[in-house]
């Protein structure tokens, strides 16, 4: 049974992505007891799947390393992975959360030596690469994973493969009899940082994501650009593995659209400008086309936009692409109208990247706690939420910087509640 | 203290270490050469039994422990012994995983492992468990500078957490620019259940909320407000800032604070630069801020134009006026709030001047997020005309003529209207850039550079904080005058510990973001207070209790440390000796690297602790043909990259010996010269990117190291060594393939140019 | 054109947009367009248009009344509904296009001899006679709309088709002599005339 020491002065943080980690660490480093609950087997959330950040073109793993070191060193922080909050009762200052912990089938004895992975041959789609690669049935989610511990895919359970993994472990780290458990955690305040998910591109019927292999999403492109990703960092066409030198980006794919998400997802313009660099850095003779409605390179991101705009081989076309077809060579062909002066086009590209937007991870109606959300499903900063405070992209479509900014503030709001409980609020 | 030192080592034989290496030999090396009192072997040191064994030993008097197992990044929670000084020999990621398990490699692999044991033992002998300096002090009072929405919000948020606040505002009233607004942009998106239609109920402009904030400040109880006041002097450090507050009416107030929030806001862009839009030539051309005044004066009645008081029947908004432009005196950035502000103001006209036509000429309409896009729709519902167009000229007259290029209809056209609103931007209200003064001081007398710097200094704004710091009076700027720092992962990674900028002084932002930012800055301020009270370091070495100290008798008052500290943490006393401010220090060790006489050290990291590692590595004679490549790797990026390379099965030359460093900035040149002198064949330094998009978490550490290394050529030529023997690289944490390759390349270079002549 | 109209078409003023809102079916939606152009790109006949829908909407907002209403653009719409399906702002573009076309014709601004408009007129006149469409006569009217000789040519070219339709009982030759209609034809005609009067009165102030 998992034991968690917590009281009504404990802060519960739901979600271990960049926002949840930030809120948890800021509170813990201020001396507060924090329990962090993460659904995945590791921390870092979606940013751990990004290759680079805009606008510095630096690596998310760099900040993650620092945050994970902070997490490893902090005695005030308890981390539960593969766990989900399923209920919350009580009120600000005295909540009880119900947390379901799914079995990892690997205990803390694991040294990440990798012997189980070598012993197993069963392979599964790798969710870390959005299914673009395969992983073993006994696997380390990524080389930065924290906790640095293997996971046994539940689909292997009861098979010889699972037994092979167990037999390969010299440290008694694999426990195939591990069960789900449900535990109760008292807490005074909750930081809700469940983040976002990419909009399902297959629902944008005219763009053919589900029909054309050379139409991919921006999150997949991010994995493709990563040297430790499915293509080893090569920008290629999924259909034939050829170099993708003529790349098109379709903005607002699923955002600002009544058929999909009504809101602007904020990050996609900047993500595309960043990804333009991936292409032009990879190939000297690259050509990149960005089809957009408005380029929302807000505040000092403008510098970054100006830099990309100055590249000879990147062009911007003010147009929401009407549809995508495919020619005989599996080249995607984009159809539409450049609205600046009405120019009709049918442009052939090697690869099309859909700049899909963000939607809240938790669907409206699926919150295990009563909470005020807006039309788009993002959490509102409403007083009715009591001691539950949204952090990061659970509250709006936010980039990493804004998420961290927001999560730092959310940590303070939670501290205000537990300090009231402790009677130290002055 | 040294009499009570008990050094114990532990060798883990799990994860293949025992299979690949001669454990007996390693134990003997640790004891005989490493001079440990004891060295124990365990088959799985990180399990409960192994950890208990170590803990028991510590209870029974072990003060220093050496763990020879996996990388220092692995099993950190298990090997967490705050009661002891600890070093780790990386035998798994550092040795067996990077070397092929073949018989012919057995010897070099074993030598690698033995060296790492020798190095870890040598390091252990030179360090001690850090303990706080006694300098720490707890002061929960927070100073907030600036009484606009950001400052007021920061005050309320900190106060609500139980931290008393003093709010200093230079004008006679709270509220800042927000108080001048007729209404503000709604922060919320449409409520759940709102249908999407052209008649949908969408959020509209709302009250500016300033009166409510002021009421809350007044009734808070633990917020004291100083109006008509400025900060005349700030000295000290987190936990013990000593501040003089100059008041207009009375005497200067002296008070002590634990942390400071600078919310000095913005200055409106000077629209006088926009002659092409007839600003100044026609009173009916106004800026967005001036329009708020007109709207306020109108109450909820029709807005009238300044020239003749006529009710405005048509208005044009020119977006990005003097912004997003590389032209002289324009702002290159986007101010971020102006699109929604113009929509809000167009709605004023639609609501208050029945029949008024409003056209917004924009390039990109920037209304991000859920609330932003809903507000765009709200403007459209009110029949605001949005036109993608580039305004070129406003012709003054009784009716204004706006010439523009309609980018959709692709024609040069014009519009006549009663009033033109220029959507002008904001300029950070920051103090002077501290490094401008330093650059001026350091520039050669009479040089043209000095002249340029002098001119820049003449127009520098007055100081906001008046810090009595060696490195200037105010927060450093990052770009365009904003006092930002890291701006992605760690927006509050300030370069002046314990002082946090918030709101539009930090980066262009709207009211909603400024309020979020204020809460974040308040969070960091109370955290800084708590850390200072315990003597713990702030980010990124959060919780570190070590701090730099120096041997005064050896110091030559050269001031390198006080100049190079990326955080301005070190002052100078009257005689030019460094004055450390522990709570301002971030423990990067850049001062230690800077010191030419090696008098600066941390208890657990020093010139000596690394020197001993260098010296205790075996250097085989030249006939053995086993070169040695010394690698200094930044512990945050390069070292994890090497770890991950190892995990993914990439090989590393058996000649490499890697020493993790806190920051490349902490590398003392003596390490390079000493190692080359003692027979190492090559040295590789791996630090973070150091250009404008620097990735060094100590901001300047990597850049400073590069500057120092630019002089290493002289040392090499004086030793008669080839320049290729020392290489400095920018290595990212994702350079999993490249990082080991760079080291292997050095091994190849040595194979090509030959071994060092300095071998015994 | 009256003075009133001179004032109304001032550039980038809402007068024409308001006129469209008042008189064009679903015209209230025009202001909601965000100029993404997906409608223009989605139209299967797009390349035959002088002005695609998104541009028409911008022209309306720019006050280009003459150019919009005398354009043949909106007459090209075949009601495939691609644009409506894809419009991210939910504009009922097809309806607006037909609404604009209708409005232009009522004002007499539609281009002369526009074939879609001619067909619509024939359809309307045919329908008004008996209260329902007489398909045989509709077909013949269409064949003969460009004169007797052309009508004979058209009829001969389609004779086979006509015979097959009669065989399949999809058309009745007797319809040529009157054909059946609704019960109270004059009542219907009165109703429609009244509606037209009301509409005329409403748009009278907008003139030509």
Verify whether the Cβ–Cβ distance C54 to A337 is below 8 Å. Answer: yes
Within A40-88, where are the H helices?
Answer: 60-73
Cα within 13 Å of Cα(A4), Cβ side: 31
* A240 and A320 share one domain: yes
* A323 and A259 share one domain: yes
- Crossing angle between the packed helical segments C148-157 and C159-167, to the nearest 10 degrees: 60
- Whether residue A6 is contained in a domain is answered as no
Shortest distance between the Cα of A193 and any Cα of chain C, in A, equals 29
Give the position of tokens 């522990």: B582
What was the pLDDT predicted at C208? 63
* A86 and A158 share one domain: no
Q: Choosing among C32, C39, C41, which should be mutated to test the A contact, i.e. which has the most A CBs within 10 A?
A: C41
Q: Which residues of C touch A (CB under 8 A)?
A: 34-38, 40-42, 46-47, 51-52, 54-55, 85-90
Q: Which CATH fold would you assign to the domain B269-428?
A: FAD/NAD(P)-binding domain (3.50.50)
When CB atoms are compared, the residue of B316, B408, B414 closest to C35 is: B408
What was the pLDDT predicted at C166? 86
Shortest distance between the Cα of C36 and any Cα of chain A, in A, equals 5
- Whether residue A283 is contained in a domain is answered as yes
Nearest CA in chain A to B93: A113
- Whether residue A110 is contained in a domain is answered as no
DSSP state of B622: G
Verify whether the Cβ–Cβ distance A293 to C87 is below 8 Å. Answer: no
Taking a contact as any Cβ pair under 8 Å apart, which residues of chain A between 43 and 72 contact chain B?
51, 53, 55-63, 65-67, 69-70, 72
- Please state the domain count of chain A: 3
Q: Measure the CA–CA gap between B413 and B405, rounded to whole angstroms.
A: 6
Verify whether the Cβ–Cβ distance A318 to C37 is below 8 Å. Answer: yes
The answer to whether the beta carbons of residues B432 and B473 sit under 8 Å apart is: yes
B142-265+429-534 has which CATH code?
3.50.50.60
Look at residue A84 and give its three-state secondary structure.
strand
Verify whether the Cβ–Cβ distance B380 to C29 is below 8 Å. Answer: no
Nearest CA in chain B to C15: B357
The answer to whether the beta carbons of residues B40 and B11 sit under 8 Å apart is: yes
Beta strands in B213-355 (DSSP E): 223-226, 229-235, 241-247, 253-257, 259-262, 266-268, 285-287, 314-321
Among B96, B49, B48, CA closest to B69: B96
Mean pLDDT of chain A: 96
Sort out which chain A residues have CB atoms less than 8 A from B481's CB and list them: none
The domain ranges of chain C are 3-111, 115-197
Cite the residue boundaries of each domain of chain B with CATH code 3.40.50: 1-129, 619-760
Listed as ranges, residues in chain B with pLDDT below 50 are 1-2
Q: Choosing among C6, C7, C12, which should be mutated to test the B contact, i.e. which has the most B CBs within 10 A?
A: C12
* A93 and A158 share one domain: no
Q: How many helices (H) and strands (E) does chain C have?
A: 12, 0
Count of positions (residues) in chain B: 760
Q: Measure the CA–CA gap between B697 and B567, rounded to whole angstroms.
A: 11
What domain range includes position A160?
A: 115-168
Write b or e for each residue in B652-684: b if 16 or more Cβ atoms lie within 10 A of its Cβ, otherwise e. Answer: bbbbbbbbbbbbbbbbbbbbbbbbbebbbbbbb
Q: Is B456 left (phi over 0), alpha (psi -120 to 50) or beta?
A: alpha
Nearest CA in chain A to B76: A72
Verify whether the Cβ–Cβ distance B386 to C34 is below 8 Å. Answer: yes
Entry pTM:
0.95
Q: How many degrees, rounded to 5, is the angle at CA A210 between CA A208 and CA A215?
A: 60
Pairing of strands B85-90, B64-69: parallel
Pairing of strands A323-326, A332-338: antiparallel
Reply yes or no on domain B549-591 having CATH 3.40.640.10.
no
What was the pLDDT predicted at B428? 97
Task: Quick: pLDDT tens for A135-155.
Answer: 999 999 999 999 999 999 999
Among B728, B665, B730, B667, CA closest to B701: B665
What was the pLDDT predicted at B503? 97
The residues with which A187 forms a beta bridge, in sequence order, are A95
Q: Choosing among A28, A408, A417, which should be mutated to test the B contact, i.e. which has the most B CBs within 10 A?
A: A408
- Give me the total of CB pairs closer than 8 Å, taking one residue from chain A and one from chain C: 63
- Whether residue A222 is contained in a domain is answered as yes
User: In the structure encoding, which two tokens stand for residue A50, read together?
Assistant: 């990004």
Verify whether the Cβ–Cβ distance A63 to B648 is below 8 Å. Answer: no
DSSP state of A378: P
Task: Quick: pLDDT tens for A323-368.
Answer: 999 999 999 999 999 999 999 999 999 999 999 999 999 999 899 9
Shortest distance between the Cα of C47 and any Cα of chain A, in A, equals 7
Q: Measure the CA–CA gap between A131 and A229, rounded to whole angstroms.
A: 11
- Whether residue A1 is contained in a domain is answered as no
Sort out which chain B residues have CB atoms less than 8 A from A252's CB and list them: none
Task: Quick: pLDDT tens for A150-176.
Answer: 999 999 999 999 999 999 999 999 999
Give the position of tokens 């009256």: C2
What was the pLDDT predicted at B529? 97
**C28 touching B (Cβ < 8 Å):** yes
- Whether residue A4 is contained in a domain is answered as no
What was the pLDDT predicted at C175? 80
- Report how far apart, in Å, the C-alpha atoms of B118 and of each of B113, B365, B481, B612 are: 9, 63, 50, 9
Nearest CA in chain B to A269: B368
More confident residue, A423 or B143: B143
Q: Is B320 left (phi over 0), alpha (psi -120 to 50) or beta?
A: left
The residues with which C72 forms a beta bridge, in sequence order, are none
Q: Which CATH fold would you assign to the domain B1-129?
A: Rossmann fold (3.40.50)
The Cβ of residue A121 has, within 10 Å, a number of other Cβ atoms equal to 10
* A64 and A128 share one domain: no
Q: Measure the CA–CA gap between A227 and A238, rounded to whole angstroms.
A: 16
Give all chains having 3 or more CB-to-CB distances under 8 Å with chain A: B, C
When CB atoms are compared, the residue of C31, C58, C62 closest to B380 is: C31
Give all chains having 3 or more CB-to-CB distances under 8 Å with chain C: A, B
* A351 and A369 share one domain: no
Based on the number of CB atoms within 10 Å of its own CB, is A387 exposed (0-12), middle (13-18) or buried (19 or more)? buried
Cite the residue boundaries of each domain of chain B with CATH code 3.30.70.20: 549-591
* A207 and A126 share one domain: no
End of a domain among A313, A334, A358? A358
Verify whether the Cβ–Cβ distance C41 to A206 is below 8 Å. Answer: no
* A187 and A139 share one domain: no
The Cβ of residue B215 has, within 10 Å, a number of other Cβ atoms equal to 10
* A157 and A54 share one domain: no
Sort out which chain A residues have CB atoms less than 8 A from B44's CB and list them: 109, 111, 170-171
ipTM of the complex: 0.97
Q: Measure the CA–CA gap between B97 and B644, rounded to whole angstroms.
A: 10
- Whether residue A313 is contained in a domain is answered as yes
Sort out which chain B residues have CB atoms less than 8 A from A364's CB and list them: 192
The CATH architecture one would assign to domain B619-760 is 3-Layer(aba) Sandwich (3.40)
DSSP string, B459-481: TPPPPSS-B-BTTBSSPPP-BTT
Q: Measure the CA–CA gap between A336 and A322, rounded to whole angstroms.
A: 5
- Residue A1, pLDDT above cutoff 90: no
* A225 and A279 share one domain: yes
User: In the structure encoding, which two tokens stand for residue A17, read together?
Assistant: 């992505």
Q: What is the CATH number of the domain that holds A57?
A: 3.50.50.60
Verify whether the Cβ–Cβ distance A319 to C36 is below 8 Å. Answer: yes
* A47 and A32 share one domain: yes
Pairing of strands B253-257, B241-247: antiparallel
User: In the structure encoding, which two tokens stand for residue A291, read together?
Assistant: 């089809």
* A154 and A301 share one domain: no
Q: Measure the CA–CA gap between B111 and B640, rounded to whole angstroms.
A: 23
Q: Measure the CA–CA gap between B711 and B151, rounded to whole angstroms.
A: 46
The CATH architecture one would assign to domain C3-111 is Orthogonal Bundle (1.10)
* Main-chain phi, psi angles of B311, to 5 degrees: -65, 130
Listed as ranges, residues in chain C with pLDDT below 50 are 1-8
């Amino acid at each position: 049974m998992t034991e968690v020491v917590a009281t009504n002065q404990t802060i519960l943080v739901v979600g271990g992505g960049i926002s949840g980690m930030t809120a948890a660490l800021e509170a813990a480093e201020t001396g507060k007891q924090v329990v962090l609950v993460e659904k995945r087997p590791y921390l870092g959330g979606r940013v751990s799947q990004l290759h680079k950040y805009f606008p510095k073109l630096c690596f998310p793993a760099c900040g993650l390393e620092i945050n994970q070191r902070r997490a490893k060193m902090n005695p005030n922080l308890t981390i539960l992975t593969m766990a989900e909050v399923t209920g919350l009762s009580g009120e600000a200052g005295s909540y009880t959360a119900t947390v379901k912990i799914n079995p990892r089938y690997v205990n803390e004895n694991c040294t990440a030596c990798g012997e189980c992975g070598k012993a197993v041959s069963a392979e599964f789609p790798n969710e870390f690469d959005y299914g673009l690669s395969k992983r073993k049935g006994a696997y380390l989610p990524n080389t930065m994973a924290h906790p640095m511990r293997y996971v046994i895919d539940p689909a292997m359970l009861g098979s010889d493969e699972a037994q092979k993994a167990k037999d390969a472990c010299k440290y008694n780290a694999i426990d195939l009899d591990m069960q789900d458990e449900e535990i109760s955690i008292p807490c005074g305040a909750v930081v809700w940082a469940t983040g976002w998910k990419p909009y399902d591109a297959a629902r944008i019927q005219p763009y053919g994501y589900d029909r054309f292999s050379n139409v991919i999403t921006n999150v997949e492109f991010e994995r493709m650009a990563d040297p430790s990703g499915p293509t080893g960092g090569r920008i290629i066409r999924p259909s034939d593995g050829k170099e993708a030198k003529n790349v098109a980006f379709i903005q607002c794919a699923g955002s600002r659209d009544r058929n999909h998400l009504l809101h602007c997802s904020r990050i996609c313009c900047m993500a595309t400008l960043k990804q333009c660099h991936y292409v032009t850095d990879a190939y000297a003779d690259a050509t990149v086309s960005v089809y957009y409605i408005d380029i929302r390179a807000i505040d000092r991101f403008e510098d970054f936009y100006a830099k990309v705009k100055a590249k000879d081989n990147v062009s911007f076309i003010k147009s929401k692409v009407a549809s995508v077809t495919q020619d005989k060579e599996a080249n995607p062909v984009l159809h539409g109208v450049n609205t600046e002066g009405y120019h009709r086009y049918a442009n052939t590209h090697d690869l099309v990247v859909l700049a899909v937007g963000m939607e809240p991870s938790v669907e409206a109606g699926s919150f295990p706690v009563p909470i005020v959300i807006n039309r788009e499903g993002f959490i509102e900063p409403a007083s009715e939420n009591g001691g539950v405070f949204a952090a990061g992209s659970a509250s709006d479509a936010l980039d990493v910087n804004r998420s961290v900014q927001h999560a730092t503030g959310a940590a303070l709001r939670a501290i205000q509640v537990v300090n009231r409980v402790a009677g130290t609020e002055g | 203290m040294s009499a009570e030192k008990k050094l114990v080592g532990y060798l883990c034989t799990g994860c293949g270490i025992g299979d690949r290496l001669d454990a007996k030999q390693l134990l003997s090396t640790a004891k005989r050469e490493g001079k440990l009192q004891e060295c124990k072997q365990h088959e799985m040191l990180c399990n409960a039994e192994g950890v208990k064994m170590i803990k028991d030993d510590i209870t029974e008097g072990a003060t220093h422990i050496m763990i020879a197992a996996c990388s220092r990044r692995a099993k950190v929670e298990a090997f967490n012994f705050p009661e002891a000084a600890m070093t780790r020999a990386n035998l798994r990621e550092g040795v067996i995983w990077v070397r092929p398990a073949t018989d012919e490699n057995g010897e070099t692999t074993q030598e690698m492992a033995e060296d790492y044991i020798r190095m870890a033992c040598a390091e252990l002998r030179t360090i001690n468990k850090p303990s706080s300096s006694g300098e720490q002090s707890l002061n929960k009072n927070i100073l907030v500078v600036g009484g606009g929405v950001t400052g007021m919000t920061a005050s309320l948020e900190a106060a609500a957490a139980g931290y008393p606040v003093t709010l200093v505002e230079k004008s006679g009233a709270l509220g800042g620019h927000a108080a001048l607004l007729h209404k503000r942009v709604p922060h919320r998106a449409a409520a759940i259940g709102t249908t999407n239609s052209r008649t949908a109920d969408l959020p509209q402009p709302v009250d500016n909320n300033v009166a409510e904030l002021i009421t809350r400040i007044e009734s808070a109880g633990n917020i004291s407000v100083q109006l008509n006041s400025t900060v005349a002097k700030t000295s000290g450090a987190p936990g013990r800032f000593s501040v003089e507050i100059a008041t207009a009416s009375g005497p200067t107030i002296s008070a002590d604070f634990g942390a400071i929030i600078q919310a000095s806001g913005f200055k409106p862009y000077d629209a006088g630069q926009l002659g092409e839009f007839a600003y100044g030539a026609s009173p009916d051309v106004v800026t967005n801020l001036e329009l708020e005044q007109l709207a306020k004066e109108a109450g909820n009645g029709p807005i009238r134009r300044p020239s003749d008081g006529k009710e405005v029947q048509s208005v044009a908004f020119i977006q990005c006026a003097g912004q997003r432009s590389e032209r002289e005196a324009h702002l290159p950035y986007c101010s971020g709030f102006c699109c929604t502000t113009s929509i809000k103001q167009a709605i004023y006209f639609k609501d208050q001047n029945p029949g008024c036509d409003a056209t917004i000429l924009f390039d990109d309409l920037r209304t991000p997020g859920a609330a932003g896009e809903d507000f765009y729709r709200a403007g459209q519902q009110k029949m605001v005309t949005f036109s993608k167009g580039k305004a070129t000229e406003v012709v003054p007259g009784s009716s204004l003529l706006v010439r523009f290029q309609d980018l959709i209809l692709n024609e040069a056209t014009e519009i006549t209207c009663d009033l033109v609103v220029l959507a002008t931007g904001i300029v950070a209200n920051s103090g002077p850039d501290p490094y401008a003064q330093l650059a001026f001081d350091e520039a050669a007398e009479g040089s043209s550079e000095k002249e340029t710097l002098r001119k820049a200094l003449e127009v520098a704004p007055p100081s906001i904080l008046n810090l009595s710091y060696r490195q200037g009076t105010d927060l450093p700027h990052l770009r365009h005058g904003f006092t930002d720092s890291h701006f992605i992962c760690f927006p509050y990674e300030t370069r002046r510990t314990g002082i946090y900028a918030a709101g539009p002084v930090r980066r262009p932002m709207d009211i909603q973001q400024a309020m979020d930012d204020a809460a974040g800055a308040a969070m960091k301020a109370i955290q800084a207070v708590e850390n200072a009270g315990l003597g713990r370091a702030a980010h990124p070495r959060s919780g570190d209790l070590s701090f730099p100290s120096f041997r005064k008798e050896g110091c030559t008052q050269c001031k390198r440390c006080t100049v190079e500290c990326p955080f301005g943490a070190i002052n100078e006393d009257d005689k030019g000796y460094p004055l450390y401010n522990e709570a301002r220090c971030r423990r990067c060790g850049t001062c230690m690297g800077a010191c030419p006489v090696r008098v600066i050290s941390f208890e657990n990291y020093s010139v000596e602790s690394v020197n001993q590692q260098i010296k205790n590595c075996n250097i085989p004679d030249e006939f053995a043909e086993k070169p040695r490549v010394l690698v200094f790797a930044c512990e945050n990026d390069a070292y994890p990259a090497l770890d991950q390379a190892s995990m993914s099965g990439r090989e590393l030359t058996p000649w490499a010996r890697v020493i993790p460093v806190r920051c490349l900035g902490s590398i003392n040149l003596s390490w390079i010269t000493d190692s080359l002198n003692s027979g190492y064949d090559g040295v590789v330094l791996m630090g973070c990117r150091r250009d404008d998009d620097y990735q060094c978490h100590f901001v300047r550490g990597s850049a400073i190291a590069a500057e120092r290394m630019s002089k290493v050529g002289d040392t090499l030529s004086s030793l008669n060594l080839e320049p290729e023997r020392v290489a400095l690289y920018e290595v990212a944490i994702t350079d999993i393939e490249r990082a080991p390759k760079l080291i292997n390349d050095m091994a190849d270079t040595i194979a090509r140019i030959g071994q060092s002549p300095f071998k015994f | 054109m009256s003075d009133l109209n001179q004032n109304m078409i001032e550039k980038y003023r809402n007068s024409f947009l308001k006129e469209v809102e008042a008189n064009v079916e679903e015209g209230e939606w025009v202001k909601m367009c965000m100029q993404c152009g997906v409608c223009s790109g989605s139209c299967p006949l797009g390349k035959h248009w002088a002005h695609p829908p998104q541009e028409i909407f911008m022209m309306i907002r720019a006050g280009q009344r003459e150019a919009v209403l005398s354009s043949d653009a909106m007459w090209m719409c075949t009601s495939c509904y691609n644009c409506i399906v894809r419009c991210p702002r939910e504009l009922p573009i097809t309806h607006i296009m037909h609404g604009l076309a209708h409005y232009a014709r009522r004002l007499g601004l539609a281009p002369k001899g526009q074939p879609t408009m001619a067909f619509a007129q024939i359809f309307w006149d045919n329908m008004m006679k008996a209260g329902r469409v007489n398909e045989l006569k509709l077909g013949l009217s269409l064949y003969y709309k460009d004169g007797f000789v052309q009508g004979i040519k058209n009829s001969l070219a389609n004779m086979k088709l006509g015979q097959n339709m009669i065989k399949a009982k999809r058309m009745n030759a007797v319809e040529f002599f009157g054909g059946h209609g609704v019960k109270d034809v004059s009542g219907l005609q009165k109703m429609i005339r009244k509606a037209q009067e009301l509409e005329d009165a409403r748009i009278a102030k907008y003139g030509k």
